[in-house]
Structures are given as C-alpha cells and as structure tokens.
Structure 1
Amino acid sequence: METDPRAELIETLKLVVGAMKAAEVPFAVVGSFAGYARGAPPSDNDVDLGVCESDVDAAVAALTAVGLDFRDPPEDWLVKVYDEDRQVDLIHRLAGRPVTPELLAGSDWIEVASVSMPVLGATDLIIFKLLALGEHACDFGPLLAIVRAIREQVDWPRVAEETRLSPYAQVFLELARRLNLVSADEVPEWTEDDDERRSASRDGGDRGSLRGGPHPAAAG
C-alpha cells in the first residue's frame, strides 16, 4: 500500500513539536504548515519551525534525542534535521529577518492533529511569504491557496506597509485585489511615493527588500 507523504509529514510535525515542547525550547510552526494549522491545504514538502538563533543548538539536541538525524547545510539561516527522509527545517532567519522572542510570543496556540502547538501569527506568515518572493521563487499558486484560506485572519494594512518595498509582493497583492481576496481599502494600490521609496532603498543598497530577501525559501 502506498503511503501518503502529507500524512507522514503531519506525523513528523507531531513528533518534533512534542520533542520541542518537552525540552522547553521556544519555537513556532512557520511556513506552509502554519497555513495548514489555520485552514490552508497541508504541505507535502517539509516541516518548518522558527527558532531564535541562540536556541538552535538546544533545538537540534531535542530533536536528535528522539531519533532525528542532524545535517549541517551550507545555508547560514537554518539547520536541517531528518525524520527518515522527511525534512525538518529549523529556521532562525525568515526572509532575512531574525526570529526573535517577540515574534515567537505573537504566535497562537492551535490544535493540529490533536496536538496543541504554537503557530506563527497569520499576518506574520503572509508578510514572510511575500518577502520571500523573488526572481527565482515567484510561484503564486501555493500562496494564493493560503491567502484564500486565512484572509480573514490577516491584518492586511500591516501586510501592505511591511512589504511595500518589494515589487514581487506588490504584484501579488494587486492580483489578490483583482481576485477579490482583499479590498482596495485593506491594501491600497501602488503609488508614485512607493516608487520613490523603493528607488531610495535600492540606491541605499537594500537589495534584500527588493529581491524578496537573500533566501526565497525561508518562509517554507
């Protein structure tokens, strides 16, 4: 009988959440599983947890203690552990921004597959997803599915403000407006002032904001 990769990932999610809670390592579920916890389709890729950089070693210790395998990747914004062939990313920078205690404190405790777990706030989830868009990661399909599912949970004016310097985010938000997923009142249209701000940011060398951050997959 063929196994269901999504069901297996959910079991991995439950395993790592239980281990992190038992070890009292602060964390939050981020990425696609944060969307799933809030009503979006489940992920069939990997499990993403946000942790502060200072807690990465403790998180790795907690997960290897329950049988996961640690692998040190070349990227400098996460580490990886594996439950057999199922990947778990421990991310300490999301779309170029450090994971902080304040960010984790804003998570909501949600029951997923009968396990209570801290889940990244809906607004923060969309912000990081949008900031992760870039030239080499510009697939709107999965993000549209998340937005359709959780749009009523999101503070859209805050999303618009925090992603205003990203042209990729602005294109997505324009698409969301045209699909009636958000309103013009919630997400104002791009203006000449925004062009000037983006140009000033580019001239100042802030390439990460314009290109969706240095690692498009950071949001999971």
Structure 2
Amino acid sequence: MTDLCEELLLTMKRAGAVLRRNDIPFALMGGFAVYARGGTSSDHDVDFLIRPGDAARVLAVFAEAGFSTERPPEDWLVKAYDEGRLIDFIFRPVERPVTDDTLAEAETVQVGGMHLPVVTASTLMVHKLLAFNQHNCDFARAMPLARSLREQIDWDLVRRETKQSPYAQAFLVLLEILQVMPDEVMA
C-alpha cells in the first residue's frame, strides 16, 4: 500500500469511529469496500453510505470532531476532509436513496483492524454499472471490480438491478465474452 493509501486507511478508520461514536448508521462503500472484500484499495477518497436524513448531522458531528466539512452543489452527498483527505458521505447513490434496508444488507468485515459494515460485492457492482451513461462509460474502471470480486457477486441480482441500463447490459455481455462471470451464471 502506498503512503497515500495508508493515510486514507487512517482517515477511513477515523471517520468510521466518528460515525459509530455518534450512533449514525452507515456502510463503507467505494474503493475501500472493494479493498475490504479483497480487491484493490482506493487511492483518492473514502466513501460511506448514510441515510438522507442523517446528512446534516454527519456534517455537524464531523465539524465538531475537527474535520473540515462541505455541502457541495450536488444533492446526493456531503463531504468531510481529514487533513485534506476526502470523505464522501453518499445518501443517494445512482439516484437510489439509502434506506435502513440498504444499510441492513451491509456485512461486517474487518478493514484495517476495525470491524465495519461494508456493502456487498453485488451492491458495489450494481452501483458501478448504474453510474455508466453517455458521458461516463469507462468499462476499464469497472473491470477490476468485476474480476477481483466475481466469486462474491450475485450476478443474477446484478442483471435484475441493472436491466434498465443499456450501458450495464453491454458491460455484462463483455464479461460473458471474457468469461469473467462463473460458468453457471453464463449458462
């Protein structure tokens, strides 16, 4: 792990501790969720899912804990900074509000010496695929996730959850051609 990744891991642990200490339900998302499940770690930020109703409280408790905070113009997240390192608190990923059920699906995983709720590999894949659109369709960014976590992903669920997206469907065809998905899924 590079120094930046080590620093981000420390930021992830600090942020997880603040959320826990303040009884704010959350789940680790993004690159560190991939890392927690055996993939490559993030090199630019830390992402957490929170409920929409907790956004203002997250900003308040993080400011109180000494983090810089920001409410950006995008209406689906709030941000905090730990010595310049970015933490995104996402409450509406891919236009789907985070609910208690969303957070209940997370599994407790050890990450950097802490046990944290981490979104499932299937959720990571669904969110990655639903983020594709005519302006953002870089399959190379989703391929490492699909390859590194393929055994943990419920591919039938991913197909159902992404069936409305032609970009997601195209990526799934590519995975079939490259034989990334387990044989029983492709049959």
Is residue 123–residue 159 contact of structure 1 (8 Å, CA) maintained in 2? Answer: yes
Question: Deviation at 1:30?
Answer: 1.0
Question: Deviation at 1:66?
Answer: 2.1
Question: Deviation at 1:50?
Answer: 0.5
One-letter amino acid of the counterpart of residue 181, structure 2: V
- Matches of 2:129 and 2:120 in 1, distance apart? 14
Is residue 50–residue 90 contact of structure 1 (8 Å, CA) maintained in 2? Answer: yes
Task: Spell out, residue by residue over 1:69-92, the C-alpha distance to the aligned partner (whole angstroms, 9 max, x if none).
Answer: 011201011111111221111111
Question: Deviation at 1:120?
Answer: 0.7
Seq. identity, %: 41
- Matches of 1:143 and 1:37 in 2, distance apart? 17
> What pairs up with 1:15-30 in 2 under 5 angstroms?
15-30=14-29
Task: Spell out, residue by residue over 1:187-215, the C-alpha distance to the aligned partner (whole angstroms, 9 max, x if none).
Answer: 57xxxxxxxxxxxxxxxxxxxxxxxxxxx
Is residue 157–residue 187 contact of structure 1 (8 Å, CA) maintained in 2? Answer: no
Query: How many residues are aligned here?
Result: 186
Task: Spell out, residue by residue over 1:6-34, the C-alpha distance to the aligned partner (whole angstroms, 9 max, x if none).
Answer: 11111110110011011110000111221
- Give unpaired runs (5+ residues) of structure 1: 189-220
> What pairs up with 1:58-207 in 2 under 5 angstroms?
58-183=57-182, 185-186=184-185
Is residue 130–residue 168 contact of structure 2 (8 Å, CA) maintained in 1? Answer: yes
Q: TM-score, normalised by structure 1?
A: 0.80
Higher relative contact order (CA 8 A, sep 6+): 1
Question: Deviation at 1:158?
Answer: 1.0
- Matches of 2:23 and 2:73 in 1, distance apart? 27
* Residues 1:50 and 2:23 are matched in the alignment: no
Give 1:12's aligned residue. 11
Q: TM-score, normalised by structure 2?
A: 0.94
Is residue 72–residue 79 contact of structure 2 (8 Å, CA) maintained in 1? Answer: yes
Question: Deviation at 1:113?
Answer: 0.6
* Residues 1:35 and 2:34 are matched in the alignment: yes
- Secondary structure class of the residue paired with 1:16: helix
One-letter amino acid of the counterpart of residue 174, structure 1: V
- Secondary structure class of the residue paired with 2:185: coil
- Give unpaired runs (5+ residues) of structure 2: none
User: Which has the higher mean CA deviation after the structures are superposed, 176-185 or 103-112?
Assistant: 176-185
Give 1:193's aligned residue. none
Moved over 2 A (4+): none
Give 1:195's aligned residue. none
Task: Spell out, residue by residue over 1:106-163, the C-alpha distance to the aligned partner (whole angstroms, 9 max, x if none).
Answer: 1000011101110011111111111011122222223211111111111101111111
- Matches of 1:115 and 1:161 in 2, distance apart? 33
Question: Deviation at 1:185?
Answer: 4.6
